[in-house]
């Protein structure tokens, strides 16, 4: 099947819209590390969302769109958009302990807006994906059901998950946005990006994004659905920020494996050289 890169933008747009509505109508005490109420609260949280996690996906999408347009102005705009989006990686720009918007959050958000403008200006890029990718999307979607419900502002267990059950005086799955959903969406987006460009830099970035998304999705799900049930006392270390821990070791290893196996097949000339080398080996 084929999917347009604009479908990726649409998915993030849908989540941002739900976020504005949910954070505007629900008491901040039921949400996570926000304090503003009403529509300003919803817009504030959505602005931070444009930083993390949207900027991480907008960065490569904006560059790809700029190269499809092909003009010098577009390519320069693509570089500017990527630079602005990359500011999200600066420590302190997004603080998980305080998710109210600050002026610095306007910088990566501007990069996202510029990248989207380039996407809308460029011709639509359609990416062919295989059955394995579709199965991965479905799996990530099913795992994210409890987070999607929380994003819409209600608790739903779907007969499988912990959701509104109390844990240490709070709901097991707080209402509003979860970094586990960020992880699932980053991983799903990376599977598109892996097919969108065969350049080594693009594939390396997509491989790292896929690994980062998968580990963060797993970490959040494990804590909410395993640790909070009392099935295990072992928590997976946070993977939101680079650190010397098991989570980041897993990210690096997964990214390396994905990059190794996601490359283009050898050319005819390369296959001939390899075949000749094998035939020349003794025995």
Which of 128, 150, 168 represents a domain boundary (last residue)?
128
- % pLDDT > 90, the chain: 91
Tell whether 140 and 245 lie within a shared domain: yes
Distance CA 187, CA 136 (A): 9
Domain count, the chain: 2
The total number of residues shown for the chain amounts to 283
Q: Strand, coil or helix: what is 2?
A: strand
Query: Is the bond leading into 142 cis (omega within 30 degrees of zero)?
Result: no
Give the Cα-Cα-Cα angle 119, 212, 17 (nearest 5 degrees). 45
Tell whether 146 and 172 lie within a shared domain: yes
pLDDT digits (tens, 9 = 90+) for 123-154: 999 999 999 999 999 999 999 999 999 999 99
Question: Which DSSP helix (H) or strand (E) runs through 112?
Answer: helix 106-121
Average pLDDT, the chain: 93
Structural domain boundaries enclosing 26: 1-128
Which of 98, 128, 158 represents a domain boundary (last residue)?
128
Tell whether 279 and 145 lie within a shared domain: yes
Which of 84, 106, 128 represents a domain boundary (last residue)?
128
Average pLDDT of the residues in 226-250:
96
Tell whether 95 and 142 lie within a shared domain: no
Tell whether 154 and 220 lie within a shared domain: yes
Tell whether 218 and 272 lie within a shared domain: yes
Distance CA 133, CA 187 (A): 11
Tell whether 283 and 143 lie within a shared domain: yes
pLDDT at position 273:
39
Tell whether 185 and 45 lie within a shared domain: no
pTM of this structure? 0.92
Tell whether 275 and 148 lie within a shared domain: yes
Residues whose CB is less than 8 angstroms from the CB of residue 2 and which lie 6 or more positions away in sequence, other chains included: 126, 127, 128, 129
Tell whether 113 and 211 lie within a shared domain: no
Tell whether 134 and 123 lie within a shared domain: no
Tell whether 244 and 190 lie within a shared domain: yes
Distance CA 245, CA 219 (A): 13
């Amino acid at each position: 099947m084929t999917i347009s890169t604009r479908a990726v933008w649409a998915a993030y747009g849908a989540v941002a819209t739900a976020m504005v509505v949910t954070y505007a109508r629900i008491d901040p005490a039921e949400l996570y590390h926000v304090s503003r109420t009403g529509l300003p609260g919803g817009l504030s949280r959505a602005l931070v969302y444009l930083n993390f996690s949207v900027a991480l996906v907008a960065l490569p999408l904006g560059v790809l769109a700029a190269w499809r347009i092909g003009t010098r102005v577009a390519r320069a705009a693509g570089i500017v958009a990527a630079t602005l989006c990359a500011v999200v990686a600066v420590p302190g720009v997004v603080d998980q302990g305080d998710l109210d918007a600050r002026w610095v959050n306007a910088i990566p958000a501007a990069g996202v807006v510029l990248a989207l403008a380039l996407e809308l200006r460029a011709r639509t890029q359609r990416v062919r994906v295989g059955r394995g990718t579709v199965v991965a999307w479905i799996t990530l979607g099913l795992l994210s059901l409890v987070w999607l419900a929380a994003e819409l502002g209600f608790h739903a267990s779907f007969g499988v998950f912990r959701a509104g059950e109390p844990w240490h005086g709070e709901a097991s799955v707080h209402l509003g946005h979860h970094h586990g959903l960020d992880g699932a969406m980053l991983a799903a987006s990376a599977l598109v990006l892996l097919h969108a460009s065969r350049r080594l830099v693009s594939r390396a970035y997509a491989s790292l994004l896929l690994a980062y998304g998968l580990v963060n999705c797993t970490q959040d799900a494990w804590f909410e659905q395993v640790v909070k049930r009392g099935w295990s006392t072992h928590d997976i270390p946070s993977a939101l920020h680079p650190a010397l821990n098991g989570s980041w070791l897993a990210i690096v290893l997964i990214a390396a494996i994905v990059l190794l196996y996601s490359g283009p097949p050898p050319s005819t000339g390369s296959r001939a050289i390899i075949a000749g080398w094998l035939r020349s080996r003794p025995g």
